Amino acid sequence: MPTQTFSWEHRVTYAECTLGNHVYYARFLDMLETARGELFRHLGRTFLHWQENDTIFPVVECQLRYRGAARYDAVLTIELWITTAAKVRLDFAYHIKGPDGRLLIEAETKHVCTTPEDKPKRLPDELIAAVTPYLSDPQEP
């Protein structure tokens, strides 16, 4: 884990649940998007800002491990940090925790930095500087 993680809370809705009173497995990816977006806002430049400056971060890989079920109306805490911010790569790691602090989901999403026409471009220096406090030691999980 890095020096700092960013946290975002999300309350589970009926829209996200499926049979058996738990969040449908795909809906966590929607939550991860929201949390990433809020981290960027917190860092001072939103995804919208970067998009308006011809810089987007399409996902190239994601992985989720489901450790426990998330229930309707529960407030989940999404903790996230950066695992790679170098060259054209920007990778995030996430823990989603239940109301009692129990780890429900471990996830990673891996992104490339590109133009809107899908041409890879180096991460802006300003972005690398901004994410550094949230960057984990590469030896760590």
Closest to 93 measured CA to CA, from 54, 51, 131 = 131
Could you say whether residue 26 binds a second copy (CB under 8 A)?
A: yes
Q: Which of residues 95-134 bind a second copy (CB under 8 A)?
A: 116
> And the tokens for 34?
């929201």
Q: What DSSP character marks residue 26?
A: T
- 3-state DSSP assignment of residue 27: helix
Provide the minimum distance between the beta carbon of 111 and a second copy in the complex, in angstroms, as a whole number: 10
Of the candidate residues 13, 53, 115, 132, the single one contacting a second copy (CB under 8 A):
13
Tokens 């920007």 -> residue: 90
> Considering only residues 35-74, where is the footprint of a second copy by CB under 8 A?
37, 46-48, 56, 58-66, 72-73
Q: CA–CA distance from 77 to each of 5, 55, 81, 97, 101 (Å)?
A: 12, 28, 13, 5, 8
> For a second copy, which is the closer residue by CB, 16 or 136?
16
Q: Which is nearer to a second copy, 17 or 135 (CB)?
A: 17
Rounded distance, CA 78 to CA 51, Å? 24
Which residues would be at the binding site for a second copy (CB under 8 A)?
11, 13-15, 17-21, 24-27, 29-30, 33-34, 37, 46-48, 56, 58-66, 72-73, 116
